[in-house]
Amino acid sequence: MMSLRTIRLLFGAALVAVLVASLWPAREPLPLGTGWDKADHVVAFVALGLLGLLSWSAQRARVLAGLLAYGVWIEVLQGFTVYRQADWHDVVADAIGLALATLILALATLILAAWRGRRVVVR
């Protein structure tokens, strides 16, 4: 299993990668995209959400609020460029990604607990 330090380093790297990809001045989408901008946002924020929630599991609300604010900040920055445009639909896609990350983590916790024969209380 990865150490907490490694997960946090991956989280920091993912934050930088998402920012760079979001502000990249290319006419064509980056090759790592899904081909649909909103799906790209969902996938990126699922990854950020999972890494952030695993990094600071006791601070779930703060992690999710911070990541949603990060998504808003990216849109604001895109609004200052001449090659990108801000879109509130992207923030909705970010929020969906964070909700999916929360759901994935909760389901994984329940499945792991059931596999180990333990009872889990989900907060």
Q: HSE on the CB side for 84, CA within 13 Å?
A: 21
Give, in degrees to the nearest 5, the angle at Cα 51 between 4 and 56. 55
Predicted model pTM: 0.88
Using CA atoms, how far apart are residues 46 and 24, in angstroms rounded to an integer? Answer: 20
Residue of higher predicted confidence among 119 and 4:
4
Contact assessment for residue 55 and residue 3, using Cβ atoms and an 8 Å cutoff: no
Residue 102 has pLDDT above 80, yes or no: yes
Residue 72: pLDDT above 90? yes
Q: For the residues 1-19, what does the mean pLDDT come to?
A: 95
